[in-house]
A and B are shown apart, each in its own frame.
Chain A
Amino acid sequence: RKEVEQDPGPFNVPEGATVAFNCTYSNSASQSFFWYRQDCRKEPKLLMSVYSSGNEDGRFTAQLNRASQYISLLIRDSKLSDSATYLCVVNQYADTGNQFYFGTGTSLTVIP
């Protein structure tokens, strides 16, 4: 079973739409959670960390449900520049250091 699972999409939405991505993780001992954004043929970049209480950064809202082992990302008022692949990332800490597990990503295209 994969450590992190995401719906690969693609999601094609019009400008101004609201879109939500979901992600599940298999290891209940996972300790920290993130959403990264990856543009075509570029490196991943941190979009936001995800906290149990939920957190918001402008048009982006992330939620964590530890009981269901589920992470979500909501994008409101989508912009053309939001077109990218969104990666769900889970961190597990071991004695030797942090290990990060990435989902395969969800592809978003915002259409004019």
Chain B
Amino acid sequence: NAGVTQTPKFQVLKTGQSMTLQCAQDMNHNSMYWYRQDPGMGLRLIYYSASEGTTDKGEVPNGYNVSRLNKREFSLRLESAAPSQTSVYFCASGKDRGLIETQYFGPGTRLLVL
């Protein structure tokens, strides 16, 4: 049981390049999330998917697209990377326990855009 896995762990891009961050979970959770974490800003929600086949914008969606490929996988795409997208990206999945959903995070992807 690997939990939430993310690839790659590190990436350096040049401005204008594109890339896809991969996320997979093996806990059979319905909800999945993408966050970015910047110094002094806390984690901010980029996109989320409440269930397979649905995706919705979070707090900071501009410059990103997502795909909920199946129940296990939720990818984040940067079509044209900008230096402002330099950040640590965390994927999470959510376990429902009645009205409370607990999030489990992947190890993160550290992205540097030059």
A interface with B by C-beta (< 8 Å): 4, 8, 31-32, 34, 42-46, 49, 87, 91, 96-105
* Chain B residues bordering chain A, tally (CB within 8 A): 29
CA A34 to CA B48, docked complex, whole Å? 19
Closest to B100 in A: A32
CA A87 to CA B42, docked complex, whole Å? 8
B interface with A by C-beta (< 8 Å): 31, 33, 35, 40-45, 48-51, 54, 56, 58-59, 90, 94, 99-108
Prevailing SS type, chain B contact patch: strand
Q: What's the least CB distance linking B87 to chain A, in Å? A: 13
- The 8 Å CB contact of B54, one of A49, A96, A100, is A96
Whether the pair A43, B90 counts as a contact (CB closer than 8 A) is yes
Q: A31-B99, A32-B101, A91-B101 are contacts. A97–B31 as well, Cβ < 8 Å?
A: yes
